[in-house]
C-alpha cells in the first residue's frame, strides 16, 4: 500500500486533495475543479474520506395528477430524457382523469438470524410463548417510536433450512424509514435470545425487502386518447398491452422494462433524501416474487380502456436519516407538498407508472430514439465542449445527421467557432 494513504481518513479534504494530486498527478485545473465543488458545510461529516461534492442535476416533473391532487415532482438524475418523459407521460395520464394511488401497508421488517439450530420447533415454540415479552423488549429499546403511535407489531419465526432460523420482527416506523430504530430493537431481542434461550445469534439487521410497505398506482386511459384516428389509437393500446405482456414472459425484456420504471422512481427517491439502493433492491426482489423475474407494471386493454397498474415496495421516510442532513430535501418536500410518508409512497409509484407509460408508448410508436434524440444530441454537444451559448446551435445541427459521432460534433463545433 502507498504510505501516502496511511491515516487518510484523519486528513482534511484539502490535505487529501494534495496527496491525490501528488501521487496521481492531478493537474492544477483538475485540483481547482475538485476544490471548487467541495462543500464547506455538513457534507464532509456525512461520509468518510470526503474529497468534494459530486453534483447531479435536479429538475421538476410537472403535470402529475395523483388522487385528484396536482403535484410538481423534484427529480435528481443525470439521464437526459427522464424528466421530459415523466412530464409527458403524466400529462397524458392526467387527461385520462389522473392516477389513483394507494398504500396497502407501511411496516418495516427485520431479522434476528440464528445458526446451528438442531430442532426448529424448539425455537418456534419458545418465540411463540415469549412473543409479548420480546415485543416489550423491542418497545423498551426505542420507546420514542411508541410515543409517536408506532412500534413493534409482530414477531414470528421462519425455518431457512440448513440449521438457520430467522426471527422476523415487524415495526410501525411512523414517518421514518426506520433502519436504525429497527436495528436497535433487533439487537435488544438478540440479547434476550442469547441470555434466556442460550442460543448464539449470527446477525441482526433490517430487511430491505419492503414487501410490507407496498404502494400501488393505477390509471385507466380511454383508447381514443392515444392517437387522433381511433383505429390508430386502438393499435397503439394493443401494442402497449403486448409490450407489457412480453415483460411478463421474458426476463431479458423485463429488466429493461423495470429499468425504465426505476428511472423515475430513483430520481424522486434521491431528491427526497432516501436510500435509492434499498428501493432498487426491494423492487427487483419484488419483481421475482413468483420465481421468475417479471415486469413490475402491467397494461391491459378492455372495453376500449387501457388500464395500467404498478405496485412497488417503497420503504421510504420523510424524517430522519439523510432527509435531515441534506439541505435540499426539506425544500424538495415543500415543492412536492408532501405531508406524510404514505403520500410520498403514492407519488413515487405514480411517477413510476407515468415513466413506464411514456417509455412503452414511445417504444411501440415512434421508437425510443426519436424522443431521446434532442436530449442525446444536447449531451453530445456538451461532451465535446460546447458552451451554454453554443449548445443550442450545435444540437440543431447534430439532429440533421443520421447517426452523429464525437468527431463530427467536434468538427461542427469548430465550424460554429470560426
Residue with smaller CB distance to ligand NDP, 208 or 309: 208
Residue with smaller CB distance to ligand NDP, 206 or 233: 206
Q: H/E element holding 70? A: strand 69-76
What is the Cα–Cα distance from 350 to 217, expressed in whole angstroms? Answer: 5
Contacts of 301 (CB under 8 A, 6+ apart): 223, 237, 238, 240, 241, 307
- 161 - beta bridge partners? 164
Q: Which three cell numbers stand for residue 36?
A: 471548487
**Closest distance between ligand NDP and the C-beta of residue 185, in Å?**
10
| The one catalytic residue among 259, 324, 334, 339 | 259
> Is 177 an interacting residue with respect to ligand NDP (CB under 6 A)?
yes
- Please select the residue that binds ligand NDP; options are 20, 145, 155, 351, rule is CB under 6 A: 145
**Closest distance between ligand NDP and the C-beta of residue 172, in Å?**
9
- Please select the residue that binds ligand NDP; options are 110, 152, 320, 352, rule is CB under 6 A: 320
| DSSP of 10-29 | GS-HHHHHHHHHHHHT--HH
79: annotated active-site residue? yes
DSSP, collapsed to helix, strand or coil, labels residue 60 as strand
> Is 269 an interacting residue with respect to ligand NDP (CB under 6 A)?
no
**Closest distance between ligand NDP and the C-beta of residue 206, in Å?**
6
Q: Contact region for ligand NDP (CB under 6 A) — 41-49, 51-59, 116-124, 173-181?
A: 173-181
372: annotated active-site residue? yes
> Is 275 an interacting residue with respect to ligand NDP (CB under 6 A)?
yes
Q: How far apart are the first and last CA of the chain?
A: 50
Q: H/E element holding 172? A: strand 164-172
> Is 345 an interacting residue with respect to ligand NDP (CB under 6 A)?
no
What is the Cα–Cα distance from 315 to 208, expressed in whole angstroms? Answer: 8
**Closest distance between ligand NDP and the C-beta of residue 322, in Å?**
5
124: annotated active-site residue? no
Residue that is written with C-alpha cell 393500446 in the block: 237
Supply the residues annotated as catalytic.
79, 259, 275, 372
* Contact residues: ligand NDP, CB under 6 A: 144-145, 148, 174-181, 206, 208, 275, 278, 317, 319-322
Amino acid at each position: 500500500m502507498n504510505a501516502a494513504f496511511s491515516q487518510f481518513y484523519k486528513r482534511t479534504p484539502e490535505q487529501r486533495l494534495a496527496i491525490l494530486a501528488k501521487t496521481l498527478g492531478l493537474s492544477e485545473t483538475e485540483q481547482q475543479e475538485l476544490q471548487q465543488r467541495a462543500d464547506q458545510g455538513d457534507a464532509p461529516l456525512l461520509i468518510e474520506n470526503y474529497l468534494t461534492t459530486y453534483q447531479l442535476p435536479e429538475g421538476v416533473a410537472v403535470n402529475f395528477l395523483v388522487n385528484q391532487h396536482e403535484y410538481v415532482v423534484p427529480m435528481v438524475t443525470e439521464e437526459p430524457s427522464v424528466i421530459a418523459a415523466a412530464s409527458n407521460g403524466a400529462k397524458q395520464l392526467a387527461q385520462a382523469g389522473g392516477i389513483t394511488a394507494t398504500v396497502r401497508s407501511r411496516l418495516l421488517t427485520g431479522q434476528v438470524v440464528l445458526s446451528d439450530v438442531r430442532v426448529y420447533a424448539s425455537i418456534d415454540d419458545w418465540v411463540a410463548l415469549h412473543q409479548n415479552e420480546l415485543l416489550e423488549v423491542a418497545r423498551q429499546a426505542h420507546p420514542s417510536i411508541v410515543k409517536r403511535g408506532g412500534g413493534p407489531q409482530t414477531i414470528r419465526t421462519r425455518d431457512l433450512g440448513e440449521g438457520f432460523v430467522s426471527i422476523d420482527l415487524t415495526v410501525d416506523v411512523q414517518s421514518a424509514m426506520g433502519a436504525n430504530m429497527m436495528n436497535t430493537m433487533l439487537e435488544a431481542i438478540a440479547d434476550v435470545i442469547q441470555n434466556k434461550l442460550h442460543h448464539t445469534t449470527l446477525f441482526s439487521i433490517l430487511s430491505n425487502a419492503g414487501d410490507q410497505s407496498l404502494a400501488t398506482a393505477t390509471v385507466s386511459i380511454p383508447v381514443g386518447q392515444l392517437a387522433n384516428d381511433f383505429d390508430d389509437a386502438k393499435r397503439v393500446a394493443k401494442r402497449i398491452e403486448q409490450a407489457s405482456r412480453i415483460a411478463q414472459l421474458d426476463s431479458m425484456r423485463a429488466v429493461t422494462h423495470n429499468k425504465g420504471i426505476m428511472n423515475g422512481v430513483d430520481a424522486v427517491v434521491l431528491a427526497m433524501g432516501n436510500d435509492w439502493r434499498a428501493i432498487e433492491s426491494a423492487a427487483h426482489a419484488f419483481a421475482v416474487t413468483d420465481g421468475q423475474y417479471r415486469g413490475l407494471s402491467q397494461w391491459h386493454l378492455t372495453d376500449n380502456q387501457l388500464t395500467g397498474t404498478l405496485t412497488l415496495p417503497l420503504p421510504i421516510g420523510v424524517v430522519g436519516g439523510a432527509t435531515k442532513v441534506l439541505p435540499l430535501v426539506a425544500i424538495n418536500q415543500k415543492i412536492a407538498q408532501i405531508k406524510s410518508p404514505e403520500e410520498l409512497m403514492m407519488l413515487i409509484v405514480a411517477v413510476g407508472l407515468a415513466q413506464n407509460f411514456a417509455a412503452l408508448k414511445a417504444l411501440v410508436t415512434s421508437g425510443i430514439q426519436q424522443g431521446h434524440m434532442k436530449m442525446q444530441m444536447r449531451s453530445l454537444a456538451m461532451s465535446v465542449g460546447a458552451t451554454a451559448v453554443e449548445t443550442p446551435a450545435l444540437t440543431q445541427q447534430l439532429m440533421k445527421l443520421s447517426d452523429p459521432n464525437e468527431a463530427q460534433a467536434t468538427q461542427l463545433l469548430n465550424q460554429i467557432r470560426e
